Structure 1
């Protein structure tokens, strides 16, 4: 029994260490439909600070399906989202040393297999960082996506 508990703890520790993606803060959601007897469809907004590029914050809005599956996490949310990233402080990270593509944020959007992922792609030539949001579940052969670009600017002291 002790070895099973130890193995489970080790597995969870590895999962936690392997996940360098950011954690989001949630804002209140806005209802988009009215359902008389079940939760409404809505659009929710979250923000996260890029863990590898301090000074950059991204905001993501995502559609959430209502109905009785919503409170239990059983709904598959539609792949409708938008991302907007901004420089909100000094950026001291050397973008030339960042990986050419790295996941900065991920959020589950269904109980099985579907996620919204935001990738950080540095553009060293233009001194910018591109944030690409995609749905990990393909829709008709092409994933839903959104993009935001953060030009790195000097920050007043």
Structure 2
């Protein structure tokens, strides 16, 4: 064999090894995706009155975690990252989704809020104090849902909160 063919084969083998290492290490040590999304939502008061609002989710989305969960959202800068409803921070905790679950749920005693979020971000629910979101409203339990959710999906989330 010519020397140039041997060099070319050596380069190809090195390239295969490098690509294999890259994918192998990413599988063992996954990197988070930066996530920043604003979702149109409604806040529903106890009497059925609806107020439009925005749910903002910012932070890192981990697809796999060393904490025996399949996904999680984590914020590093609590003033800018986390889950917000109309600018009010709803959580200052990690959110983790166990392998067997299809949603994150979180109880949070700092804002007296419970959150629900499914894997593909198509369903979101929060049980909050209306006054925490809108200062002009009296203190009462309110529920926040994405505008795109059906009544059946809303009822499903309410059932989770009732547990």
Q: Same fold, TM exceeding 0.5?
A: no
Q: TM-score range by the shorter chain?
A: 0.3 to 0.5
Q: TM-score of the superposition, structure 2-length normalised?
A: 0.32
